[in-house]
Amino acid sequence: MLCPACREVMIVVEQDKIELDHCTSCAGVWFDAGELELMLERMGLDRGALSLAKIADLPDAETAEKKRRCPVCGKKMKKTHIGQEPEVLIDVCLRGDGLWFDGGEIGQIIEQCAAKSGTEMDAENRVLCFLGDTFKAEG
Ligand SMILES: [Zn+2]
Ligand SMILES: [Zn+2]
């Protein structure tokens, strides 16, 4: 699969049997819809806690950032915010293919999780922390 941000070929990384596509060039990561649900399940969370449909229903983010095309269907993705302090701007395919996190966003997620460790986290934050754990090792 090609990176929606820089068009490089992405590599597959595996964490807890969940496969994510990762661009080593821009450090972004793509989540297939099924992988997101699988992850929620493995964490013992309700599949609906952070479903793609729920994310697709969130309000559009107001941003000057350019819209990206879904690496699966090629359609323009919607931008929306998840998480808090700071919110993370993600791209979501409205046809339900998956989600895209930019490399800089993963960095924000890691910081956010470090700040939250030890406190009670909701499903959204647990997902973000899972991502943070996966990509922490890479500078
Ligand atoms: Zn890239
Ligand atoms: Zn798509």
Q: What is the largest CA-CA distance in the chain?
A: 40
What is the average pLDDT value for the chain, to the nearest integer? Answer: 85
Is there a domain that residue 18 lies in?
A: yes
Q: Separation of 105 CA from ligand 1 center, angstroms?
A: 13
- In this prediction, residue 75 has a pLDDT band, given cuts at 50, 70 and 90, of very high
Smallest-distance ligand from the CA of 11: 1
pLDDT above 70 covers a percentage of the chain that reads 93
Whose CA is closest to 36, among 135, 137, 136, 123? 123
Smallest-distance ligand from the CA of 94: 2
Domain count, the chain: 1
Is-contact 111 87, C-beta < 8 A?
no
Is there a domain that residue 2 lies in?
A: no
Q: What is the pLDDT of residues 3-49, one digit of tens each?
A: 999 999 999 998 878 899 999 999 999 999 888 888 888 878 777 77
Is there a domain that residue 109 lies in?
A: yes
Whose CA is closest to 125, among 66, 98, 85? 85
Whole-prediction pTM value?
Answer: 0.83
Smallest-distance ligand from the CA of 101: 1
Q: Separation of 51 CA from ligand 2 center, angstroms?
A: 15
Supply the range of the domain harboring residue 38.
11-135
Is there a domain that residue 24 lies in?
A: yes
Is there a domain that residue 3 lies in?
A: no
Is there a domain that residue 6 lies in?
A: no
Smallest-distance ligand from the CA of 73: 2
Q: Separation of 71 CA from ligand 2 center, angstroms?
A: 7
Is-contact 75 95, C-beta < 8 A?
yes
Is there a domain that residue 96 lies in?
A: yes
Is there a domain that residue 40 lies in?
A: yes
- Integer angstrom CA distances of residue 53 from 1, 47, 72, 105: 23, 11, 17, 21
